[in-house]
Amino acid sequence: MASKQGVKSRRFGFNSSKTCNSPSSKSPSSPSSSSKIVPFDAQRAKENVTVTVRFRPLNQREIQQGEEIAWYADGETVVRNENNPSVAYAYDRVFGPTTTTRHVYDVAAQHVVSGAMEGINGTIFAYGVTSSGKTHTMHGDQRSPGIIPLAVKDAFSIIQETPNREFLLRLSYFEIYNEVVNDLLNPEGQNLRVRQHTQGTFIEGIKEEVVLSPAHALSLIAAGEEHRHVGSTNFNLLSSRSHTIFTLTIESSPRGKNSEGEAVTLSQLNLIDLAGSESSKAATTGMRRREGSYINKSLLTLATVISKLTEEKPSHIPYRDSKLTRLLQSSLSGHGRVSLICPVTPSSSSTEETHNTLKFAHRAKHIEIQAAQNKIIDERSLIKKYQQEIQCLREELEQLKRGNVTVQSKDTEEDNIGLLKQKLEDGQVRLQSRLEQEEEAKAALLGRIQRLTKLILISTKTSNSTTFPNRPSFRRSHSFGEKELAYLPYKRGDFILDDENIDLYANLEGNYVTADDSFKEDENAKKYGLLNWLKSRTSIKSVDHIYLLREEHKILSGEVVLHSSTLKMLSEETARNPQNDQIHVEIKRLKDEIKAKSEQIGLLEKQISRSLTASVNMDRSGVSQVKSADKGIIQEKLKQKICECESLQETITTLKQQLADAMESINFSNVVNHSQHLSLTKDYSSELYLDKGNANFTNGGTVLQAKISEIEQLKQKVAELTESKEQLELRNQKLAEENSYAKGLASASVVELKALSKEFAKLIDYNQRLAAELAATKNLTTQRRSSGSVQNARRESHARLKRNDQAGSNSDIKRELALSKDQLYQKEIEIQRKMLTMKLKCRV
Ligand X SMILES: Nc1ncnc2c1ncn2[C@@H]1O[C@H](COP(=O)(O)OP(=O)(O)OP(=O)(O)O)[C@@H](O)[C@H]1O
Q: Say how many residues touch ligand X, by CB under 6 A.
A: 18
**9 among the known binding-site residues?**
no
Looking at beta carbons only, is 149 or 343 nearer to ligand X? 343
Instruction: Decide if residue 284 touches ligand X (CB under 6 A).
Output: no
Looking at beta carbons only, is 136 or 337 nearer to ligand X? 136
Q: How far is the CB of 329 from ligand X (least distance, A)?
A: 23
Looking at beta carbons only, is 127 or 480 nearer to ligand X? 127
157 residue type, one letter? S
CA dihedral 144, 146, 152, 157 (to 10 degrees): 50
Q: Which one among 28, 39, 133, 336 touches ligand X, defined by CB under 6 A?
A: 133
Sequential DSSP letters for 179-234: TEEEESS-TT--SBPEEEETTEEEETT---EEE-SHHHHHHHHHHHHTTS-EE--S
C-alpha to C-alpha distance for 521 and 509, rounded to whole angstroms? 27
Q: Residues for the chain: how many in total?
A: 844
C-alpha to C-alpha distance for 839 and 828, rounded to whole angstroms? 16
Looking at beta carbons only, is 73 or 594 nearer to ligand X? 73
Looking at beta carbons only, is 119 or 292 nearer to ligand X? 292
Q: For the window 136-175, what string marks contact with ligand X as x by the rule CB under 6 A? A: x---------------------------------------
Instruction: Decide if residue 96 touches ligand X (CB under 6 A).
Output: no
Looking at beta carbons only, is 131 or 437 nearer to ligand X? 131
Instruction: Decide if residue 347 touches ligand X (CB under 6 A).
Output: no
C-alpha to C-alpha distance for 168 and 386, rounded to whole angstroms? 10
Looking at beta carbons only, is 131 or 749 nearer to ligand X? 131
Q: Which one among 45, 47, 57, 297 touches ligand X, defined by CB under 6 A?
A: 57
Q: Which one among 128, 163, 292, 336 touches ligand X, defined by CB under 6 A?
A: 128
Q: How far is the CB of 246 from ligand X (least distance, A)?
A: 15
Q: How far is the CB of 57 from ligand X (least distance, A)?
A: 6
Q: What percentage of the chain's residues is helix, strand, coil (to nearest 5)? A: 60, 15, 25
C-alpha to C-alpha distance for 57 and 343, rounded to whole angstroms? 11
826 residue type, one letter? Q
Question: b/e for 478-498, b at 16 or more Cβ within 10 A?
Answer: bebebebbbbbbbebeebbbb
**98 among the known binding-site residues?**
no
Q: How far is the CB of 59 from ligand X (least distance, A)?
A: 6
Q: How far is the CB of 119 from ligand X (least distance, A)?
A: 31
Looking at beta carbons only, is 100 or 409 nearer to ligand X? 100
Interacting residues with ligand X between 207 and 236 (CB under 6 A):
236
Under 8 Å between Cβ of 255 and 164 = yes
C-alpha to C-alpha distance for 765 and 371, rounded to whole angstroms? 124
Instruction: Decide if residue 56 touches ligand X (CB under 6 A).
Output: yes
**131 among the known binding-site residues?**
yes
C-alpha to C-alpha distance for 255 and 260, rounded to whole angstroms? 9
**132 among the known binding-site residues?**
yes
Looking at beta carbons only, is 136 or 448 nearer to ligand X? 136
| DSSP at 488 | P
Q: How far is the CB of 165 from ligand X (least distance, A)?
A: 36
Closest C-alpha to 22, from 90, 112, 108? 90
C-alpha to C-alpha distance for 144 and 400, rounded to whole angstroms? 54
**130 among the known binding-site residues?**
yes
Q: How far is the CB of 200 from ligand X (least distance, A)?
A: 27
Q: How far is the CB of 173 from ligand X (least distance, A)?
A: 17
Strand 337-344 relative to strand 122-126: parallel, antiparallel, unpaired?
Answer: parallel
Under 8 Å between Cβ of 178 and 231 = no
Angle (CA) 223 227 228, round 5°: 110
Q: Which one among 48, 114, 132, 219 touches ligand X, defined by CB under 6 A?
A: 132
Q: Which residues are registered as beta bridge partners of 266?
A: 251
Q: How far is the CB of 126 from ligand X (least distance, A)?
A: 7
Cβ count within 10 A of residue 712: 10
Looking at beta carbons only, is 131 or 518 nearer to ligand X? 131
Looking at beta carbons only, is 272 or 561 nearer to ligand X? 272
Dihedral sign for Cα atoms in the order 54, 55, 60, 62: positive
Determine the interface stretch with ligand X among 127-135, 283-291, 435-443, 784-792 (rule: CB under 6 A): 127-135
Residue 649's alpha-carbon distances to 642, 645, 657, in angstroms, are 10, 6, 12
**737 CB contacts (<8 Å, ≥6 apart)?**
none
Closest C-alpha to 341, from 360, 317, 368, 316? 360
Under 8 Å between Cβ of 495 and 487 = yes
Q: How far is the CB of 305 from ligand X (least distance, A)?
A: 20
Q: How far is the CB of 37 from ligand X (least distance, A)?
A: 24
Determine the interface stretch with ligand X among 130-138, 217-225, 387-395, 656-664 (rule: CB under 6 A): 130-138
Q: How far is the CB of 341 from ligand X (least distance, A)?
A: 11
Helix 581-680 and helix 530-576, axial crossing angle in degrees, nearest 10 = 160
Q: Which one among 5, 22, 121, 135 touches ligand X, defined by CB under 6 A?
A: 135
**493 among the known binding-site residues?**
no
Rg of the chain over CA atoms, in angstroms? 54
Q: Which one among 36, 80, 111, 134 touches ligand X, defined by CB under 6 A?
A: 134
Determine the interface stretch with ligand X among 55-63, 332-340, 407-415, 624-632 (rule: CB under 6 A): 55-63
Looking at beta carbons only, is 189 or 276 nearer to ligand X? 276
Q: How far is the CB of 141 from ligand X (least distance, A)?
A: 7
Instruction: Decide if residue 130 touches ligand X (CB under 6 A).
Output: yes
C-alpha to C-alpha distance for 133 and 748, rounded to whole angstroms? 83
Question: b/e for 824-835, b at 16 or more Cβ within 10 A?
Answer: beeeeeebeeee
Interacting residues with ligand X between 783 and 822 (CB under 6 A):
none
Determine the interface stretch with ligand X among 117-125, 133-141, 395-403, 605-613 (rule: CB under 6 A): 133-141
Instruction: Decide if residue 131 touches ligand X (CB under 6 A).
Output: yes
Looking at beta carbons only, is 136 or 335 nearer to ligand X? 136
Determine the interface stretch with ligand X among 54-62, 150-158, 526-534, 764-772 (rule: CB under 6 A): 54-62
Interacting residues with ligand X between 237 and 276 (CB under 6 A):
238-240, 275-276
Residue 429's alpha-carbon distances to 403, 435, 464, in angstroms, are 18, 10, 50
Determine the interface stretch with ligand X among 52-60, 314-322, 701-709, 725-733 (rule: CB under 6 A): 52-60
Q: How far is the CB of 478 from ligand X (least distance, A)?
A: 22
Looking at beta carbons only, is 138 or 549 nearer to ligand X? 138
Known binding positions for ATP: 128-135
Known binding positions: 128-135
Q: Which residues would be at the binding site for ligand X (CB under 6 A)? A: 56-57, 59, 128, 130-136, 236, 238-240, 275-276, 343
